[in-house]
Amino acid sequence: MGDTPRITAAELRIMKILWAGGPQTVRQVKGALTAQGGDPPAYTTVMTMMKQLADKRALKVDREGRTFIYAPAVRRDQVLSHRLLEFLQTVFDGKAEDMVLQLAEDAELSPADLRRIEAKIARRMKSDARRKSRSPE
Protein backbone atom coordinates (compact mmCIF):
# COMPACT_ATOMS: atom_id res chain seq x y z
CA MET A 1 0.00 0.00 0.00
CA GLY A 2 3.19 2.10 -0.06
CA ASP A 3 2.83 5.23 -2.22
CA THR A 4 -0.95 5.22 -2.57
CA PRO A 5 -2.46 8.22 -0.79
CA ARG A 6 -5.29 7.65 1.67
CA ILE A 7 -8.44 8.89 -0.04
CA THR A 8 -11.70 9.49 1.81
CA ALA A 9 -15.11 8.45 0.50
CA ALA A 10 -15.92 12.05 -0.49
CA GLU A 11 -12.58 12.43 -2.26
CA LEU A 12 -13.17 9.12 -4.04
CA ARG A 13 -16.32 10.59 -5.63
CA ILE A 14 -14.14 13.32 -7.16
CA MET A 15 -11.49 10.83 -8.28
CA LYS A 16 -14.14 8.68 -10.00
CA ILE A 17 -15.36 11.71 -11.96
CA LEU A 18 -11.83 12.51 -13.11
CA TRP A 19 -10.99 8.87 -13.96
CA ALA A 20 -14.16 8.66 -16.07
CA GLY A 21 -14.06 12.08 -17.67
CA GLY A 22 -10.40 13.04 -17.78
CA PRO A 23 -8.90 16.39 -16.72
CA GLN A 24 -11.43 18.94 -15.48
CA THR A 25 -11.79 22.22 -13.64
CA VAL A 26 -13.32 22.56 -10.17
CA ARG A 27 -16.49 23.94 -11.78
CA GLN A 28 -16.80 20.90 -14.07
CA VAL A 29 -16.30 18.49 -11.18
CA LYS A 30 -18.84 20.40 -9.08
CA GLY A 31 -21.30 20.10 -11.96
CA ALA A 32 -20.74 16.36 -12.20
CA LEU A 33 -21.19 15.94 -8.44
CA THR A 34 -24.41 17.99 -8.58
CA ALA A 35 -25.68 15.81 -11.46
CA GLN A 36 -25.21 12.72 -9.27
CA GLY A 37 -28.01 13.96 -7.02
CA GLY A 38 -28.24 14.65 -3.34
CA ASP A 39 -27.23 17.95 -1.80
CA PRO A 40 -25.21 19.97 -4.31
CA PRO A 41 -21.76 20.70 -2.89
CA ALA A 42 -20.53 24.26 -2.54
CA TYR A 43 -17.90 25.34 -5.06
CA THR A 44 -15.45 26.12 -2.23
CA THR A 45 -15.93 22.65 -0.74
CA VAL A 46 -15.08 20.97 -4.04
CA MET A 47 -12.12 23.32 -4.53
CA THR A 48 -10.78 22.56 -1.03
CA MET A 49 -11.13 18.81 -1.53
CA MET A 50 -9.38 18.97 -4.90
CA LYS A 51 -6.55 21.00 -3.37
CA GLN A 52 -6.24 18.39 -0.62
CA LEU A 53 -6.10 15.64 -3.25
CA ALA A 54 -3.37 17.58 -5.06
CA ASP A 55 -1.48 18.02 -1.76
CA LYS A 56 -1.69 14.23 -1.27
CA ARG A 57 -0.33 13.83 -4.82
CA ALA A 58 -3.51 12.07 -5.94
CA LEU A 59 -4.19 14.84 -8.48
CA LYS A 60 -1.93 16.71 -10.89
CA VAL A 61 -2.65 20.40 -11.42
CA ASP A 62 -2.10 22.17 -14.72
CA ARG A 63 -2.62 25.90 -14.79
CA GLU A 64 -3.98 27.34 -18.01
CA GLY A 65 -4.08 31.10 -17.49
CA ARG A 66 -6.29 31.70 -14.48
CA THR A 67 -7.88 28.25 -14.70
CA PHE A 68 -6.64 25.19 -12.85
CA ILE A 69 -7.13 21.85 -14.62
CA TYR A 70 -7.01 18.76 -12.39
CA ALA A 71 -6.16 15.24 -13.55
CA PRO A 72 -5.67 11.96 -11.67
CA ALA A 73 -2.07 11.30 -10.63
CA VAL A 74 -2.87 7.80 -9.34
CA ARG A 75 -4.50 4.89 -11.13
CA ARG A 76 -8.04 3.83 -10.29
CA ASP A 77 -7.06 0.19 -9.64
CA GLN A 78 -4.28 1.33 -7.29
CA VAL A 79 -6.65 3.43 -5.16
CA LEU A 80 -9.42 0.81 -5.14
CA SER A 81 -6.98 -1.92 -4.09
CA HIS A 82 -5.71 0.29 -1.28
CA ARG A 83 -9.25 1.07 -0.09
CA LEU A 84 -10.26 -2.59 -0.33
CA LEU A 85 -7.29 -3.72 1.75
CA GLU A 86 -8.08 -1.02 4.35
CA PHE A 87 -11.69 -2.25 4.44
CA LEU A 88 -10.55 -5.86 4.76
CA GLN A 89 -8.33 -4.98 7.73
CA THR A 90 -10.86 -2.70 9.41
CA VAL A 91 -14.05 -4.72 8.97
CA PHE A 92 -12.88 -8.32 8.58
CA ASP A 93 -9.65 -8.21 10.63
CA GLY A 94 -7.67 -9.12 7.52
CA LYS A 95 -9.61 -12.35 6.89
CA ALA A 96 -10.24 -12.33 3.14
CA GLU A 97 -12.14 -15.62 3.27
CA ASP A 98 -14.71 -14.10 5.64
CA MET A 99 -15.16 -11.08 3.39
CA VAL A 100 -15.56 -13.16 0.22
CA LEU A 101 -18.02 -15.54 1.89
CA GLN A 102 -20.06 -12.60 3.21
CA LEU A 103 -20.18 -11.05 -0.27
CA ALA A 104 -21.13 -14.37 -1.86
CA GLU A 105 -23.99 -14.66 0.62
CA ASP A 106 -25.26 -11.07 0.63
CA ALA A 107 -24.51 -9.63 -2.81
CA GLU A 108 -26.82 -10.17 -5.74
CA LEU A 109 -24.60 -12.22 -8.07
CA SER A 110 -25.77 -13.36 -11.48
CA PRO A 111 -24.69 -16.72 -12.91
CA ALA A 112 -22.29 -14.76 -15.16
CA ASP A 113 -20.81 -13.01 -12.10
CA LEU A 114 -20.31 -16.37 -10.40
CA ARG A 115 -18.60 -17.80 -13.51
CA ARG A 116 -16.20 -14.82 -13.64
CA ILE A 117 -15.42 -15.24 -9.94
CA GLU A 118 -14.84 -18.98 -10.36
CA ALA A 119 -12.55 -18.34 -13.35
CA LYS A 120 -10.55 -15.77 -11.35
CA ILE A 121 -10.16 -18.22 -8.47
CA ALA A 122 -9.06 -20.97 -10.87
CA ARG A 123 -6.43 -18.65 -12.44
CA ARG A 124 -5.18 -17.65 -9.00
CA MET A 125 -4.90 -21.28 -7.86
CA LYS A 126 -3.00 -22.17 -11.05
CA SER A 127 -0.66 -19.21 -10.62
CA ASP A 128 -0.04 -20.05 -6.95
CA ALA A 129 0.67 -23.69 -7.82
CA ARG A 130 3.21 -22.66 -10.50
CA ARG A 131 4.90 -20.25 -8.12
CA LYS A 132 5.07 -22.90 -5.40
CA SER A 133 6.55 -25.51 -7.76
CA ARG A 134 9.33 -23.08 -8.79
CA SER A 135 10.32 -21.95 -5.30
CA PRO A 136 13.06 -23.97 -3.55
CA GLU A 137 12.01 -25.49 -0.25
The Cβ of residue 30 has, within 10 Å, a number of other Cβ atoms equal to 22
**Span 51-71, mean pLDDT?**
95
In 36-75, which ranges are continuous DSSP H helix? 43-55
Continuous segment of H or E residues that includes residue 60: strand 59-64
Sequence spans of domains, the chain = 1-94, 107-137
Architecture of the CATH domain 1-94: Orthogonal Bundle (1.10)
Q: Which range (40-49, 99-108, 126-135) has the least confidence? A: 126-135
Q: Please, are residues 60 and 71 in contact by the beta-carbon 8 Å criterion?
A: yes
Question: Residue 59 belongs to what H/E stretch?
Answer: strand 59-64
Contact between 92 and 99 under an 8 Å Cβ cutoff? The reply is: yes
- Residue 124 gets the label, from left (phi > 0), alpha (psi -120 to 50) or beta, of alpha
pLDDT more than 70, % of the chain: 97
Q: What is the mean pLDDT of the chain?
A: 93
Of all residues in the chain, the percent with pLDDT exceeding 90 is 83
pLDDT for the residue numbered 2: 58
Closest CA to 14 of 34, 36, 29, 31: 29
This prediction has a pTM of 0.80
